[in-house]
Chain A
Amino acid sequence: EPEVTQTPSHQVTQMGQEVILRCVPISNHLYFYWYRQILGQKVEFLVSFYNNEISEKSEIFDDQFSVERPDGSNFTLKIRSTKLEDSAMYFCASSVDRVGNTIYFGEGSWLTVV
């Protein structure tokens, strides 16, 4: 079964450092997303991406965050200067269409900022 893959599975970084989380969406999917989940809290939407541009973003997705699809397969989330409160599980997801019923999540990248 096709799946969304994410790397790294776990990263520890110093506060203020830049972090790049990588994702390979399912190959025929056109819509890509990042969600995050702080330990013990809700899964929260960060950003959606379609046709090489951001379609929608949440209030969380401020100037410290950026997304990119540098080639035909990877989809990345960059956090420019990490803060302690950025510690969370970050999930990449993809879907064939925009309706939302076929959103598949990757296994997540656990980011710890110290």
Chain B
Amino acid sequence: QKEVEQNSGPLSVPEGAIASLNCTYSDRGSQSFFWYRQYSGKSPELIMSIYSNGDKEDGRFTAQLNKASQYVSLLIRDSQPSDSATYLCAVPNAGGTSYGKLTFGQGTILTVHP
């Protein structure tokens, strides 16, 4: 059973601070990792993808991947109240038979307070 684990939070940070969200996964064969943002009652929205060890930056977002530790994280710099949402870590099934089957973590609720 492939697992993706996240701390459900809630994580509360002040506006302007760095929010750090973490995710661990069980399948050592996983090659791709995604962060989705989900506002309450809405659908998941892809915000970052990462495939190689190290950091990947996109605007205020930085994804970090450590395959040896089976750990992926998302940093949000200069957090804004509009960043308040649930952040979902998702990992596609490894192996050639995967057809876009994503395994999601339970999500971390982030609250950015003014």
Q: Which residues of B contact A44 (CB under 8 A)?
A: 104
Contact B107 A42 (CB under 8 A): yes
Known: A101-B34, A101-B49. A45 touches B101 (CB 8 A): yes
Query: How long is the Cα–Cα vector from A54 to B102 in the complex, in angstroms?
Result: 16
Main DSSP-derived SS at the A contact region: strand
Q: By the criterion CB–CB under 8 Å, are B104 and A31 in contact?
A: no
Q: A91-B44, A107-B43 are in contact. Are A45 and B103 (CB under 8 A)?
A: yes
Q: Is A98 interfacial (CB-CB < 8 Å)?
A: yes
Which of B43, B44, B99, B107 is within 8 Å of A48, CB to CB? B99
Name, among B42, B90, B98, B102, the residue most crowded by chain A CB atoms within 10 Å (CB to CB).
B102
Contact A105 B43 (CB under 8 A): yes
B43 A56 Cβ-Cβ under 8 A: no
Counting chain A residues whose Cβ lies within 8 A of the other chain, the interface size class is: 20 to 34
Q: Taking the nearest CB of chain B, how far is it from the CB of A2, in angstroms?
A: 14
Judge if A41 is at the interface, Cβ distance under 8 Å.
yes
How far is it, in angstroms, between the C-alpha of A31 and the C-alpha of B9 when the chains are bound? 33
Q: Are B43 and A91 in contact (CB under 8 A)?
A: yes
Question: Contacts of B97 on A, CB cut-off 8 Å?
Answer: 56
Q: Is the CB of A31 within 8 A of B100?
A: yes
User: Once bound together, how far apart are the Cα atoms of A35 and B43, in whole Å?
Assistant: 10
Contact of A43 among B44, B49, B99 (CB under 8 A): B44
Q: Which 5 A-B pairs have the closest CB atoms?
A: A100-B92, A55-B99, A48-B99, A105-B43, A43-B104
Binding site for A on B (CB under 8 A): 32, 34, 38, 42-46, 49, 88, 90, 92, 97-107
Q: List 10 A-B contacts (CB under 8 A).
A: A33-B101, A42-B107, A45-B102, A48-B101, A56-B99, A95-B100, A101-B34, A103-B46, A105-B43, A105-B44
Additional A-B contact list (12), CB under 8 Å, known A42-B107, A56-B101: A42-B104, A43-B102, A48-B99, A56-B97, A58-B101, A91-B43, A93-B100, A99-B32, A99-B92, A100-B101, A103-B102, A107-B43
